[in-house]
Structure 1
Amino acid sequence: MNGAAARVADATGNWVDTLAPRWSRPYLRLSRLDRPIGSWLLLMPCWWSAALAAGVAHAVWQLPLIIVLFFVGAFVMRGAGCTWNDITDRDLDALVERTRSRPIPAGQVSVPRAVVFLVAQALIGLAVLVQFNRFAVATGIASLLIVAVYPFMKRITWWPQIVLGLAFSWGALMGFAVTFGRIDAAAVLLYAGSIAWVIGYDTIYAHQDAEDDALIGIKSTALLFAARTHQALLVFYALAVVLIGAALVSAGSSFPAWVGLAAFAAHLIWQIRRLDTGNPALCLRIFQSNRDAGLLLFAGLLADAVLRAGV
């Protein structure tokens, strides 16, 4: 199979296609390193929580290391999660135009080799996790149950995005677990707000596959909301902002954090106004822009932490 044919349909022209050794490309695609947006979205709640916890602690000396470890852990574990997802969804992926070129249904990686690759990624993730305290290690391991069941949810419920939210928002708990060895009310509120955010942005993402999903019997909030997607996004995005705001109140956050939240909210409003669910390419671009929304909030939380630490 030549290099062009081996590419995943919605991820061409990236560094994996052009720079990575040819033998490694199917595995890098399996872990979605050709499309790192999902890793960034998994990382955002981790960074939010780390910065918010640092603000509560009035200390930022550990924060740079925590930020780096969360970065590595998010990218590795998102790759492991995607590998698991592709193993379980290989037959369904073969039926969908956008996903049939993924490495397993395309025949680039066998299932046994994918399992070995999954284990290797999980071990790297574990090596990162054990750098933290025991409570944080246990909290991180607890997320694996949600990750394991997520791929099956689209077969049985119209709300698989809720389960994805539970998994992708887990990092909102981890910053407090790492910093304090406990989970405070602020972390729980941040977690709930992040779940609402994930439901919103993954609904946008799911609109890319709505027609194929309807034909093969896959369920999603994109199909559930259909023409009411804009109204649903308004509800979930508003809920995200309110809950994250409640987390800031609980954490005693100062002005910079609120500026970050306001910028985050403004970006979400822009997404709703710009969205055309009948335009898959636009849906993908708006979905991807959530990394920028998350970074705006993180910048505010980070500035708040530095200010409160008196640096």
Structure 2
Amino acid sequence: MRFPLCLLATVLCAATASAQPTLDIYHVDVEGGAATLIVTPARESLLVDAGWPGNGGRDVQRIQAAMKAAGITRIDHMITTHYHTDHVGGVPALKAAVPIGTFHDHGPMTPPYAQDYASNYEAYVAVVKERHTLKAGDTLSLESAAGGRPVVLSFVAGHGVVHTKPGAPANAACATVPAKPEDTSDNARSLGFTLAYGAFDFFDAGDLTWNVEAKLVCPANTLPTVDVYQVTHHGLDQSNHPLVLQALAPTVAVMNNGPKKGGSASTVQALKALPSLQALYQLHRNVATGPADNTTPELIANPDETPDAGHMVSVHVRADGSYDLVNHRTSEKRTFKAR
């Protein structure tokens, strides 16, 4: 059968576009902790946090399941946003199970260590002999596919310091949102970054808390708008400063909460009120709140507290800026377009 040239070109272009590798982001369910696997179109991999220790190897196994789904067998970069149990605790067991290239974190700590992270930090240091410190203003470029768009992480916060942009216009709304009591925990030292891939942008700030978040938007906004927002600090209201949410203006938000951790009602309501937001995904239904303070059921990966199914939410970004969100419980795919 002979096709008209114009039709044949359209068919071939569509087939080529669908065959091109995607940038993949897997939000692994580590039960109210954090483990986010990012895999570039060139299949270079980066894991942000590694969940909890113990649990019979549950979190390591779930990270390995995400790796298998992505078609990779090693982690090229391991970023620990901060040294709390639910973010760094899984690193030693993961290192024993999976080849890992370069380790990155917000920097060495000086003893005596604060009680909120002491044992976790010591276990981490014991197995990670060489580490690279990331600071606000740093960038980390990942491998691009041949002829493809670059994938760049730009760090906006680290060790309690934020990246500022000289000349940015003053934010008149700053006076309308009061500060909260000072957070002296390691949450406030979390690494935060934006990831850019062509027209697509993603934001992840670990457990960065309110007063440090405020420095990103006050006295001047330094944040870009993003397509996908990993909801900071599992959706707790100690974080998710309203002016940060307004500045990011995400199209999609993904909350890595647990059934009884995170997903504060005020955070859910603030996200739902954003004019930009088209979809809010949750790794778990918050069993302590009602339907109005959770997202819609079809966007929840794990609606029941038990059995512990561990379903993921993943993002798959094409070179043209379009991207899919997949709820692995239902296999439902929703497609969005980068702005």
> Is TM > 0.5 for Structure 1 vs Structure 2?
no
Greater helix content: 1
Larger strand proportion of the pair: 2
